Structure 1
Amino acid sequence: MPQQPNCFHAFQQDVSAIKLPARFTFPFYYQPHPLAEIAAEQLQQTLLTNNNWQHNFGLNADDDPDSAVGKMFGILVVQDQQGQLGYLSAFSGKVADTNALPGFVPPVFDMLSKDSFFKDDLAIITKVSNEYKQALQQPLYSQLQRQVSEQNQAFDKALAQFKGDASERKAQRKQQRAQAKQTLSEQDYLAFEQQLSQASVIDKLKLRDLKVLWQQRIQATQQSLDSVEAEIQSLAKTRRKLSNRLQKRLFSQYRFLNNLGERKDLNDIFAETPFKVPPAGAGECAAPKLLQYAFEQALAPICMAEFWWGRSPKSEIRRHKHYYPSCYSKCQPILGHMLEGLALDENPLLINPGKDKHLAIVYEDNDMVVVNKPSGLLSVPGKNIDDSVYSRIKRQYPQATGPLIVHRLDMSTSGLMVLALTSRANKALQRQFVERSVNKNYIAEVTGIVEADEGEITLPLTLDIDDRPRQKVCFDTGKPAHTIYKVMQRTATTTRLSMYPKTGRTHQLRVHCAHPQGLNMAIVGDEHYGTKADRLRLHAEYLQIKHPITQKVLSFKVAAEF
């Protein structure tokens, strides 16, 4: 039997009784195959007992939490040409300050190697970048900026003072005219009027001279400032040009194989995407590394899984040892190419889980409809699935006008939704949601025991652009999000909560429950921020609004069915 590559790891237990999957893992939505779970557990045991390298994952009591960095690891179960099963392992980015560790598959391109052009080119960019920073910080630059600002302020002040004085003189001349008309002869009045006109002309000339004087002063200083800024902009342009050139050259080195033997680099792969340019870090995730090594070594991919190891980041929600799908922004285009020629598990995102679920009408009149949305049904048509609350109500009320939708619930969330049947009603109802005058509460079951009987969470949220549609906490760019909660019931392992969102951010309740700075307990069944179950245990139980036409206060309540 030929010697296996040094990254190939044999299973330490007998797996011969486990049936191989008929198709390869769909990496963006999956439940790990038993073989993948065994491989992941074996890798995790290796991580626990490793003495060959050091990395602060934040798992030990004496680890510095501020410098702790968790990482995404991946395993790929493979079969060699003799039919022997084993697995490959990889990590995303760098671990222990390196992108290559013994036992893990190597990076697709090692930009950190001593022979790589990356370090030399980066040194040149760093030199230009430092010159740019020094130019920005030079005293002359800030001095000229301050001078221009002060001169403009002085000019505005002088101009305002002159115009004020001129206005007073003009008013005095008007009064003098009126008096002269009463006391002077016609001939003397004409002579006096000429004197006043000359005084008016003199004011205009002085105003012109004042403007010219200040404009010359400001222009001289501005020219000096423009000269300095031109130098700064030239350095910025050079840095940008060098960075773009290095980035394009770097991306051309990341050439990915697929099962058909075809290669494509990152520039070609992302040219077909809306953004055209690969995002930073593309090609450094675990999944592409694993598949690349397998194809190069003629190892057949069987199944894969990725898990988080270590402390959760401050913004994203990642739980130690939990499995996660591959990210969309970096990995979807790459894996789309690499998985060509492989039979994949069916994409669950193309399946409509709400197909056979009943949409109950809770209230209806000529202006609005309130429904009880079942978990699994979309609020509005998706990219691949048309069936939704919107499409069903559109068919059921063909006479309805306007956009119908006033607010939304996540596909996995059940509960009360109000829809407008007229444009007038839609505007009135939407205004209530915008002004936050709508009263609503949700029932949620979280995976843990909430100690406080009540509380509030105010973590600002923003879209995780690297992993849509997931949200993350960001105190710099996040939008304010406010949730109040009260404990309804505790079991041995879960807590039932009544939750009152004061804002309506995407995934607000889910993130506020799951984030370490929130409750640090994911909602049961939350596949984005926790662990998948039979369903997401989140239900919009209560809704109070004013009727969009009559202004009568209406209240609706539907109990959660979990």
Structure 2
Amino acid sequence: MFSTNTFIHFLDVSIDDELPQKFNYPFQYTPHKISKIAAEEVQNYLENQTDFKGGFDKLGKMFGVLIVKTLEGKLAYITAFSGSINENFLLNGFVPPILDTLNPKVFFKVGEEKLNQITREIEAFEKDELYISLQIKIATAKKQQEQEINAFREVLKTAKKKREVKRKEAKEKLKDDAFLRLSEELQKESVRQSFKLKRLKKDWESTLEKLQEELIDFKKPLTALKTTQKTFSAQLKEQLHENYRFLNAQHQQKNLIEIFKETYFQPPERTGECCAPKLLQFAYQNNLRPITMAEFWWGKSPVSEIKTHKQFYPACKSKCKPVLGFMLQGLEVDKNPVKNRNNIILEIPYEDDYLLVVVKPYRFLSVPGKQTEDSVYTRIKKYVPNATGPMMVHRLDMGTSGLLVIAKTFKVYKHLQQQFADRTVKKRYVAILDGIIKKNSGTINLPLRADYDNLPRQLVCFESGRPALTRYEVIERKNNQTKVYLYPETGRTHQLRVHCAHHLGLNTRIFGDDLYGITKDRLYLHAEQLEFTHPITEKRIEFFCESGF
């Protein structure tokens, strides 16, 4: 039972025989029922507690539970939240942070205050009246320079036109010698005016240079402050990464710098503040054996990401994958369940000398991945060794099954690619949604971009997202599920999955969606219909493939 008087909450259940033999793979899992029991206890507390105001009605937060066994063999759980709540890392009943950077006595808070003081000094300097007046003086001078030079250029243009008129009239009236003398005089006039323009430019350059030197000299203290700020900020960040030390099941220890060294990336901001590292760290420090873990979202969904109240989610990848890769060493961990299946046989319903159509199975890559070579592309490359060009005109997500058209020549590839770009290719997907939607049809228009902190996930972004449009049509409703047709008008990554799951879209995830919903035996999304113009015969051809669900 959850209690605010302890970090370790004992479970009043006896299901030892049903406990998992291996620790669950944290980036792809189905929560074990013992994890769900523990999560429900935490959720009941959050639902009824009056100990703190979390503001979850405005924006939710990730919570996690870790099932453990004590040295005496008792079954219990510990729980944590990501980041802080009300600027506090320490809440009764939840495990403490690995490093309490909010503690005023800890080096980070002291250093942060020093940085804030430098920032305040910079802001004060930038508001100084003399500094502002110098900047205004330079801006005014630049504007005046531009105006004077442009005005003089207009004078030169007018003078040039007059000279051309004089030269034309003189050619008709004057004799050769007189015309030659006039031409020379006009040429000298042109040179004198060009010299005046150069002189004007030089004078202004000199004036602006003196003003810039005055400004540079005046802002030397500001430049020094900004250099100090940058240097101290880098030192503080390095000190923070050195002091974030993580344990693993073999009682080894590494800091963030050592862990991320192999990734060739800097640790993202707030790495180490997520639920999973907090839970494992506390378990190792207190001789608790980790059994299984689960994380859930509590509260209002964020605008961009797909997070639903009480829904379970995998650990984040950008921050947690390197850290957990170290912390889980010494534990028996389930293998990643989402990998290519080796017994795949590709079905080819259509083939000619120019292209072929393939049925991609679910949980199989369209193109090779970082760790998996086997894919539709590698199989077809072997099947058609003399093919030229990129071949793969479009792709399907690993979890999505259905029809793909593949080009055998570069010319055919370019032709088909243009059809996709012009949106003349007709595509229809069928999906089963995990819930009932009320409207029979409609359109979803939500711009998408990559979630760079948690790839390959995508998120809705109205500022920098790319346009994404999906039409949908309900086929049937039964067993608290909705079967739909989906018609993507654009081809963004995970477009159909996000448009279905997001609360501004259908707010009903696709059944079996391991990224935006709950993992099942498969993702129930299938590209069942594909229609395009044959690049050689110029005839429209259509293909259909049953989903099997």
Q: Same fold (TM over 0.5)?
A: yes
The equivalent residue for 1:343 is 332
**1:259 aligns with one of 249, 258, 261:** 249
Summarize the alignment of residues 10-25 of structure 1 with structure 2, pairs less than 5 Å apart. Answer: 10-16=10-16, 18-25=17-24
| Unpaired stretches in structure 2, ≥5 consecutive residues | none
The equivalent residue for 1:285 is 274
Summarize the alignment of residues 158-197 of structure 1 with structure 2, pairs less than 5 Å apart. Answer: 158-197=148-187
Structure 1's 297 and 161: CA in aligned 2 closer, same or farther, altered over 3 A? same
The equivalent residue for 1:27 is 26
Structure 2 contact 362–401 (Cα < 8 Å) conserved:
yes
Structure 1's 190 and 389: CA in aligned 2 closer, same or farther, altered over 3 A? closer
- Superposed CA offset, 1:372-396 (max 9, x none): 2222221111222222111121121
The one-letter code matched in structure 2 to 1:512 is: H
Moved more, 5-14 or 245-254: 5-14
- Superposed CA offset, 1:274-312 (max 9, x none): 21x211111111111111111111222222222222222
**1:119 aligns with one of 90, 94, 109:** 109
| 2: CA distance, partners of 1:280 / 1:120 | 18
The equivalent residue for 2:354 is 367
The one-letter code matched in structure 2 to 1:328 is: K
SS in 2 for 1:485: strand
SS in 2 for 1:348: coil
SS in 1 for 2:34: helix
Asked if 1:558 is matched to 2:549, the reply is no
Structure 1's 184 and 41: CA in aligned 2 closer, same or farther, altered over 3 A? closer
Question: Offset of 1:320 from its aligned partner?
Answer: 2.0
**1:315 aligns with one of 304, 308, 319:** 304
Moved more, 289-298 or 35-44: 35-44
Question: Offset of 1:178 from its aligned partner?
Answer: 4.5
Count of residue correspondences = 545
Structure 1's 188 and 96: CA in aligned 2 closer, same or farther, altered over 3 A? closer
Asked if 1:443 is matched to 2:433, the reply is no
Moved more, 178-187 or 38-47: 178-187
Structure 1's 187 and 114: CA in aligned 2 closer, same or farther, altered over 3 A? closer
Question: Offset of 1:34 from its aligned partner?
Answer: 3.1
The equivalent residue for 1:401 is 388
Summarize the alignment of residues 210-289 of structure 1 with structure 2, pairs less than 5 Å apart. Answer: 210-226=200-216, 232-275=222-265, 277-289=266-278
**1:421 aligns with one of 408, 412, 416:** 408
| 2: CA distance, partners of 1:168 / 1:550 | 64
The equivalent residue for 2:488 is 501
- Superposed CA offset, 1:301-357 (max 9, x none): 2222222222222211112222221111111111111111222112224x423x334
Structure 2 contact 87–102 (Cα < 8 Å) conserved:
no
Question: Offset of 1:183 from its aligned partner?
Answer: 3.6
Structure 2 contact 30–518 (Cα < 8 Å) conserved:
no
Structure 1's 190 and 466: CA in aligned 2 closer, same or farther, altered over 3 A? closer
Structure 2 contact 428–528 (Cα < 8 Å) conserved:
yes
Structure 1's 106 and 144: CA in aligned 2 closer, same or farther, altered over 3 A? same
- Superposed CA offset, 1:131-168 (max 9, x none): 33444555666665565555445444443443344344
**1:471 aligns with one of 450, 454, 458:** 458
Moved more, 406-415 or 447-456: 447-456
| 2: CA distance, partners of 1:389 / 1:126 | 54
Structure 1's 144 and 499: CA in aligned 2 closer, same or farther, altered over 3 A? farther
Structure 1's 194 and 411: CA in aligned 2 closer, same or farther, altered over 3 A? closer
| 2: CA distance, partners of 1:191 / 1:70 | 88
The equivalent residue for 2:398 is 411
| 1: CA distance, partners of 2:72 / 2:518 | 37
Structure 1's 472 and 177: CA in aligned 2 closer, same or farther, altered over 3 A? closer
| 1: CA distance, partners of 2:176 / 2:415 | 71
Moved more, 512-521 or 125-134: 125-134
Question: Offset of 1:205 from its aligned partner?
Answer: 2.2
Structure 1's 542 and 152: CA in aligned 2 closer, same or farther, altered over 3 A? farther
Structure 1's 192 and 70: CA in aligned 2 closer, same or farther, altered over 3 A? closer
| 2: CA distance, partners of 1:444 / 1:252 | 48
The one-letter code matched in structure 1 to 2:354 is: D
**1:387 aligns with one of 368, 371, 374:** 374
Question: Offset of 1:408 from its aligned partner?
Answer: 0.5
**1:101 aligns with one of 91, 96, 104:** 91
| 1: CA distance, partners of 2:320 / 2:140 | 52
Structure 2 contact 304–461 (Cα < 8 Å) conserved:
yes
The one-letter code matched in structure 2 to 1:255 is: R
The one-letter code matched in structure 1 to 2:185 is: Q
The equivalent residue for 1:352 is 340
Question: Offset of 1:513 from its aligned partner?
Answer: 0.7
**1:434 aligns with one of 416, 421, 437:** 421
Structure 1's 438 and 238: CA in aligned 2 closer, same or farther, altered over 3 A? farther
The one-letter code matched in structure 1 to 2:285 is: E
The one-letter code matched in structure 1 to 2:197 is: L
Structure 1's 145 and 446: CA in aligned 2 closer, same or farther, altered over 3 A? farther
The one-letter code matched in structure 2 to 1:400 is: A
SS in 1 for 2:313: coil
The equivalent residue for 2:73 is 83
Q: Name the Cα RMSD after superposition.
A: 2.5
| 2: CA distance, partners of 1:25 / 1:456 | 38
The one-letter code matched in structure 2 to 1:280 is: E
- Superposed CA offset, 1:92-140 (max 9, x none): 1113431111222111111222421222211111122233344455566
Question: Offset of 1:20 from its aligned partner?
Answer: 3.3
Structure 2 contact 65–293 (Cα < 8 Å) conserved:
yes
The one-letter code matched in structure 1 to 2:329 is: E
The equivalent residue for 1:329 is 318
Structure 1's 8 and 156: CA in aligned 2 closer, same or farther, altered over 3 A? same
